[in-house]
Structure 1
Amino acid sequence: MRIKIRVWLLLSVVIIGIGVFLLPKFTIAKDSLEDIISSVKVYIEALYYVRNAYIEKNLDNKKLEYESIRGMVKALDDPYTEFFDPKSFKTFTEDMQGVFGGVGIRLESKDGKILVVSPIENTPAHRAGIKPGDQIVEVDGQSVINKPLDVVVSLIRGEIGKEVKIKIYRESEKKYYEYTLKRELIEVPVVEYKTLKNNIGYIKFYEFTQNSPQKIIDALKKLEKSSGLILDLRNNPGGDLRSAVMIASMFISDNDQVKTVIKNGETKTFTTKGVVVYRMDRNQNLYGEKVVKGLYRWNKPLVVLVNRYSASASEILSGALKDYGKGILLGEKTFGKGVVQTIFTLSDGSALKLTTEKYLLPSGKDINKEGIQPDVIVEMAPENVGKDNDIQLEKAIEVLLKQLSKLKEKEKLVLNKK
């Protein structure tokens, strides 16, 4: 009886704590405080017995707490929802800043596998020969299969100059490879640009960070004398949603419109004007992210390169450009990540990245697990991006030149009529 009394005393403390931390944020929450307390009653009882009756006294209580949260997150069966302990959350925020100690690989979690989206050029991973699509299976001898993405990233990153051993599986060759890499200061490139033959502008866009829109504006201004533009989103894993909206606003105006069809139980059809992406919450409420006015505008022909590792914000941008007819998509079907995550910081410096919404293209298309089919399909191994045998880029140049040729013909017809 005394044990049960103690359990309920502990539970009452938890009730007070939950009231302090949750109620101010979710005053209109679906689940009441009483519902939440009732749902964790058995967990609190189990935790009490583990901490007070387990044979070993010196338990790592913080580890018990974090692993309990990870177990809850895993039960959601959502590859994009993650719990970050304080160290992992620091790694995550470093990603947004773009500077950290590591080996230079962009990673994505899919079906319990940690896959290389792309190695960053001139980094240890790139020089060693790690390729897009490689599966990370071990880090320093520790299996990472079915491990959360943040845990794997924190294992790979670390002190500059220290070595890390990475074992990968390459599906295309059915072989395992092991690499010993020395960590370096990694500065993630966001945008690279140049002028190709026939005065074609080219922008390689690596990742959507908070400073990406200004980087793209700077590149567009440098290329404004180009006759047309190739925007390369291949192997771009996405990132900041707001950045995607702002960059789309450089090509789409608030007067552009498209027919929208929402299929959600019943079919709704309406006209969308100047919306880059729709967000839909758990209650099926729809929110339109409209174009941002006053940004630099590009009005010349555009081809957008995409592949199987163009994901998330890359799909928001490329999908909006396709829906409004602002550019020709070329390459292969995109990754298919059509959900939005929100970061909730917790009281001890840890954080929860939780899927809170899904997004729909301006046309109403739900691309989650489906991806976007390009207008011109050109299949190519992801590791050939930027190489001499980059047939997708060659085809993009060909398609853009045809577009420019058609424009010249139209201009001639207009002049002849005058």
Structure 2
Amino acid sequence: MGEEEKEYPSEIELKEDSKKEVNLSMERSKKNGKTALFVLVLFAMLFSFALGGAACYVYYFSYPGLQFLKRETQGTQKEEINLARVSKKLGELQDLIQKYYLYTENGINAENDIYKGLLNSLLEDDPYAAYYTKEEIDETINQQKGVYQGIGATVSESEEGPKVEFVYPDSPAEKGGLQAGDVILRVDGISVKDLSLTYIVENLVKGVEGSSLEMIVKRNGEELTLRITRGKVVIPAVEYGDPAEMLKDDSLPKGKIGYLSLRGFYMEAVDEFISQYEEKVDGKDEALIIDLRGNPGGDVEAATKLLDYFLPDHLSKPEKKATEESGAIQSKTDREFKAGDTLLLYTEDKNGNGKDWYCEDGHEVDMPIVILVNQNSASASELFSGAMQDYGRAIVVGTQSFGKGIVQTVRSFPDGSAVEFTTHYYFTPAGRNIHKVGITPDIKVEIPEADSNSYVQDRAKDSQLKKAAETLYTNFIHG
């Protein structure tokens, strides 16, 4: 054996070298295999990670998942509507109705109520959010212009029940015997004490022209039964008068002070107001009272048109008042305003973006002015009063106004329907937002409780109008 080993030393060495090469090759193969296995495992891990991440993304950040994540992280905080879930459930409900509902479904009403329900979900924060059908839009426009089918009376809430505040002259209500101060007890046999004013007006009072209703009212402690025939009611947008004659006050000079009331801020009303001013006040009277009591507002563009008419084109932006009302919304804007141009108002959305309005018509009214406001003066009427007050161009008399410093945007759809909800805050030229605060009068005057139901029809009891006329006469006309 030893010889054999010696006999073939070179062969043995060759075999050993071959073994080394084979072993080296095997080692390389093993290493390559390990490398490939490592790469494969690494790839699998990366793939699993990516797949898991994608699954997590889909679960948490797809629309339904995102809502779940929001609920988990925000607890009871509000979340956006889950349209996928809603659509699915609506489909299931529709299937049930089609299969089992005994009567015929009214699809149009169902659709409108779905849209109304969506907007009604905003009412907790936004009482002005609403969805309108085409018919409701037309009716709203007519009501804004003071034209509607009804009886022609305004009512307010009281502890006793709905109280009549004002009965329009020559209206169905006046013809039927209804008077300011009456407390409505029943309409067509239905007690209204615990019903909302909106429900009473929309469902019990309004109706087809020529139809009638039975109204039981309490007047001076007695119950009276009235029969009122509904009809077309047209409320004048503007009323003119001479305060001395209206108040029946001989201490005030006649023909010196003009009086104009404005029922609402829409373009036709503002055009009528300007026309009445130019015809009956301009060049004839020495001072003017603008009555915006009970004016609920209207169109921002209409308000700025009237402001543009009264204010000169070039006034410096007034300084912000040092004693701002507590709780007032503060402006977030850092945008520049036009220097030298009269700023009428500006708006801001939730991101601080908005629009500015400026004077540009080249016209102004240069006479002493008093503006009358009360708790029912809102929105555009506050915008007008606030701007005139900021520039010192009018004295505001009355009581704290309603406090609506927000702007609603109306978007129309091709079928004539529309949606409305709040989109902006508005600010007066001095940067005041009066939302839930109101305009504070320069001279505060209350209407006595005893005259609160009759002063509109008997101006001799109108203490606010009297104070306005006396202020103008004493400070600007007398002597």
**TM-score (normalizing by structure 2):** 0.66
Aligned to 2:88: 45
Task: State the one-letter code of the partner of 2:463.
Answer: I
Listed as ranges, the matches of 1:124-139 within 5 Å are 124-125=172-173, 128-130=178-180
* Structure with the largest fraction of helix: 2
Structure 1 residue 375: deviation in Å? Answer: 0.4
Distance of 1:174 and 1:63 partners within structure 2 = 44
Q: Measured at CA, do residues 46 and 147 of structure 1 come closer, stay the same or move farther in structure 2, by a change above 3 Å?
A: farther
One-letter amino acid of the counterpart of residue 316, structure 1: L
Structure 1 unaligned blocks of 5 or more: 1-34, 409-418
Q: Distance in 1 between matches of 2:295 and 2:305?
A: 17
Q: Percent identity?
A: 28
Structure 2 equivalent of residue 89 of structure 1? 137
**1:316-373: per-residue Cα shift (whole Å, max 9, x none)?**
1111111110010001001111121222223433221222222111111111111111
Q: Structure 1 pair 146/364, CA: closer, same or farther in 2 (3 Å)?
A: farther
Secondary structure of the 1:211 match is helix
Q: Select which of 304, 324, 332 maps to 2:371.
A: 304
User: How many angstroms does 1:108 deviate by?
Assistant: 9.2
Task: Describe the superposition over 1:28-85 as per-residue Cα deviations: whole angstroms up to 9, x where unpaired.
Answer: xxxxxxx99x831121122112221143152222222222222222221222122222
Larger radius of gyration: 2
Tell me: CA distance 1:178–1:343, structure 2 relative to 1, closer, same or farther (3 Å): farther
- Contact 1:227–1:300 (CA under 8 A) maintained in structure 2: yes
Q: 1:146 to 1:62 in 2, by over 3 A?
A: farther
Choose from 326, 342, 346 the match for 1:274: 342
- In the alignment, which residue of structure 1 is the partner of 2:469? 397
Partner amino acid for 1:206? Answer: R
Q: Is the 8 A contact 2:331 2:431 kept in 1?
A: no
Mapped pair 1:190 → 2:237: yes
Residue 150 of structure 1: CA displacement?
Answer: 9.6
Match of 1:336 in 2: 403
Q: Superposition pairs for residues 241-320 of structure 1, below 5 Å?
A: 241-257=300-316, 258-260=318-320, 263-264=330-331, 273-295=341-363, 297-320=364-387
Of 201, 206, 213, which aligns to 2:263? Answer: 206
Partner of 1:13: none
The whole-number CA distance in structure 2 between the counterparts of 1:60 and 1:146 is 27
Q: 1:321 to 1:266 in 2, by over 3 A?
A: closer
Question: C-alpha offsets along residues 240-261 of structure 1, whole Å, 9 cap, x if unaligned?
Answer: 2211111112221222231247
8 Å CA contact retained: 1:88, 1:154: no
Partners of 2:108 and 2:312 in 1: how far apart?
A: 51
Query: Which one is further off, 142-151 or 276-285?
Result: 142-151
Mapping for residues 353-364 of structure 1, pairs under 5 Å: 353-364=420-431
Contact kept in structure 2, 1:99 and 1:186, CA below 8 Å: yes
Cα distance in structure 2, aligned partners of 1:371 and 1:176: 38
Residue matched to 1:162: 211
Q: Please tell me whether the aligned partners of residues 377 and 402 of structure 2 are also in contact (alpha carbons under 8 angstroms).
A: yes
Could you tell me how far apart the structure 2 residues matched to 1:346 and 1:174 are?
51
Q: Higher mean Cα deviation, 254-263 or 146-155?
A: 146-155
**Partner residue in 2 for 1:15:** none
CA RMSD after TM alignment: 3.9
Q: Which has the higher strand share?
A: 1
Of residues 198-207 and 138-147 in structure 1, the stretch that sits farther from structure 2 once superposed is 138-147
CA contact (8 A) 1:118 1:235 kept: no
Tell me which residue corresponds to 2:281. 223
Task: Report the alpha carbon displacement of residue 168 of structure 1 after superposing the two structures with TM.
Answer: 8.9
Secondary structure at 1:373 match in 2 = coil
Task: Tell me what 1:79 maps to.
Answer: 127
Relative distance call for 1:286 and 1:265 in structure 2 (3 A) is closer
Alpha-carbon offset, residue 177 of structure 1: 9.3
- Partner of 2:421: helix, strand, or coil? strand
Q: Distance in 1 between matches of 2:217 and 2:357?
A: 39
User: How far does the alpha carbon of each residue in 1:251-289 deviate from its partner, in whole angstroms, 9 at most, with x for none?
Assistant: 212222312478246999988851222111232213211
Deviations 1:282-331 (A, max 9, x none): 32213211124144x32111111111111111111111111110010001
Q: Take 1:167 and 1:312, find their aligned partners in 2: how far apart are those partners? A: 34
Give the count of matched residue pairs: 365
- Report deviation, 1:236: 1.2
Corresponding residue number in structure 2 for 1:369: 436
* Distance in 2 separating the partners of 1:140 and 1:346: 40
Contact map agreement 1:88 1:151 (CA 8 A) in 2:
no
Contact kept? 1:339, 1:359, Cα under 8 Å: yes
- Tell me the TM-score normalised to structure 1 length: 0.74
CA contact (8 A) 1:318 1:329 kept: yes
SS of 1:250 mapped into structure 2 = helix
Partner residue, 1:346:
413
Taking the aligned partners of 2:376 and 2:215, their CA distance within structure 1 comes to 21
The whole-number CA distance in structure 2 between the counterparts of 1:180 and 1:158 is 14
Segments of 5+ residues of structure 2 without an aligned counterpart are 1-78, 245-252, 322-328
Q: CA deviation at 1:140?
A: 8.2
| One-letter identity of the residue aligned with 1:293 | D
SS at match of 1:344: strand
Name which of structure 1's ranges 378-387 and 350-359 shifts more when overlaid on structure 2.
378-387
User: Counterpart of 1:235?
Assistant: 294
Structure 1 CA distance for aligned equivalents of residues 187 and 399 of structure 2: 30
**Cα 1:150/1:391, change in 2 over 3 Å:** same
AA aligned opposite 1:392: Q
Q: How far did 1:200 drift?
A: 1.0
Q: Does 1:385 align with 2:431?
A: no
- Give the CA deviation at 1:107: 7.6
AA aligned opposite 1:68 = I
